[in-house]
Structure formats: C-alpha cells, structure tokens
Amino acid sequence: MARRRRIYEGKAKVLFEGPEPGTLVQYFKDDASAFNNAKTGTITGKGVLNNRISEYLMLKLAEIGIPTHFVRRLNMREQLIREVEIIPVEIVVRNVAAGSICERFGIAEGTPLPRSIVEYYYKADDLNDPLVAEEHITAFGWSTPQELDEIMHMSLRVNDFLTGLLVTVGIRLVDFKLEYGRLWNNDEMRIVLADEISPDNCRLWDLKTNEKMDKDRFRRDLGGVEEAYQEVARRLGILPESAPGDLKGPAVMQ
C-alpha cells in the first residue's frame, strides 16, 4: 500500500491524508510533552488509550448534539476524522483551581471555583500559548464574535456533560482544554469540536482521594503515569484489546 501523505505532526499526534477528500487519519503517539516541549518523554500505551478514550467521549458528546470531527476509529492508534479549519484558540474550562490559574492568581490547588471559568489561549508555541481576551480573538480575526459565542456555549455544555459522566465513574473533572474547527460543506460552515479529549488535556482527580489520573503525573514526575491512563479507560469500561508491544494483556490467574 502506498505510504499515506503526512499532513501535520504535533507533539502527541500525526495527521495523515484520509481515504476520501475532506477526511484525515489522526494517529495517536506515545510521545508526551509538557511546558511547551521543555519536558518530553514517552508514556507506553498512551496513544492506544487516548485513541479509545477520545473516541468514547466524542461519541457520547455527539449523542447530546455536540458536533465533532470524529468519524470512526480505524484501529488501535488511528481514527478517521473530518478535515476542519482549526481555530487557533485553545478553550480551557476550569471547575477547580489547578495548574496555571493557581500561579496566576495565587489560589491553592484544589480550591473549588465559584463557577466554571472559560479561558482562551492563543495557539502559538513560539509565544508560549498566551492567555487572551475575547477582544484579541475577534480583533485579530481568529474567530468572529458569533463563532466565539457558540464555542463558549458548546464548551460549557461539554463541561456539564463530562462532569456528570465522569462523576458516575468516580472521577472529578477539574479542568480541560478543547479545540474547535470550521467544517465546510459547500458554502455552509459549522463549528465542530476537534482534536482529542483524553487525560493528556484534562485534569482528572479521583473523587474520593483526589489522586491525579492525568498528564500532571508526567508533568510533575509523580510516577504511575501509564497506570493512571489505564485506570481512566478501565473506569469508562473501554480498556482496549491488547496488541503486542502496546499494552499488557489481561493478567493470567494462576
């Protein structure tokens, strides 16, 4: 089979040309990075788990009417997605103070926020993804005010839905990052959820113990990174079938 054309390679994923026009194949790597690539490493089996977790969550969101780029999972590490024009803004929704908001405002980690807070960051690695206001987004033309309004409302719906879904499996959704894209159909355009939703871009804490079950374990050298991602997948009931070199198979009982 002819080698597929690589369209884009990011820190955790690669995008290849898809089988039909308007589609792409999103390949999930085990590579991990933090602090704008200052720290890099490998989380064994992460790509397989994130492929499954993101598939599961995107399909659940589609069921409540959130449009997404996800089409279907192709194999252990790849999913077919619709090609979208990515809006260069990362949307972070926070329920509990953690990470950069703690440093920015001097809040203790774990402090519940008075209400969910939506923040915007400009996607620009060379500038360290700066926090921006709606004014910057619309004035610089990264999105229109109407698009941003839709993005904000969709993000809050995603937050409400995922918060509820995760509570049922004993996980607190502390915060997460979303990306959106424009999906064109002739002259019509829709805003759709893109990228991925996984422990790479969410903070997930055990509801009872507050133990971290996300990429903060890698960022802060807490150990047990692979196990944390596996536990999220296990609780969601989606631990993937094993494949050589990807994940350990089920333990054989003696």
Binding interface with ligand TMP (CB under 6 A): 92, 99-101, 129, 175-177, 201-203
In the complex with ligand TMP, which residue's Cβ is closer, 23 or 33? 33
In the complex with ligand TMP, which residue's Cβ is closer, 77 or 177? 177
Q: Shortest gap between Cβ of 186 and ligand TMP (angstroms)? A: 33
Q: Shortest gap between Cβ of 100 and ligand TMP (angstroms)? A: 3
In the complex with ligand TMP, which residue's Cβ is closer, 18 or 198? 198
The residue at minimum Cβ distance from ligand TMP is 99
Q: Shortest gap between Cβ of 78 and ligand TMP (angstroms)? A: 21
User: What is the SS3 assignment for 139-172?
Assistant: HCCCCCHHHHHHHHHHHHHHHHHHHHHHHCCCEE
Q: How many CA atoms lie within 13 A of 173 on its CB side?
A: 24
In the complex with ligand TMP, which residue's Cβ is closer, 91 or 192? 91
Q: Shortest gap between Cβ of 35 and ligand TMP (angstroms)? A: 9
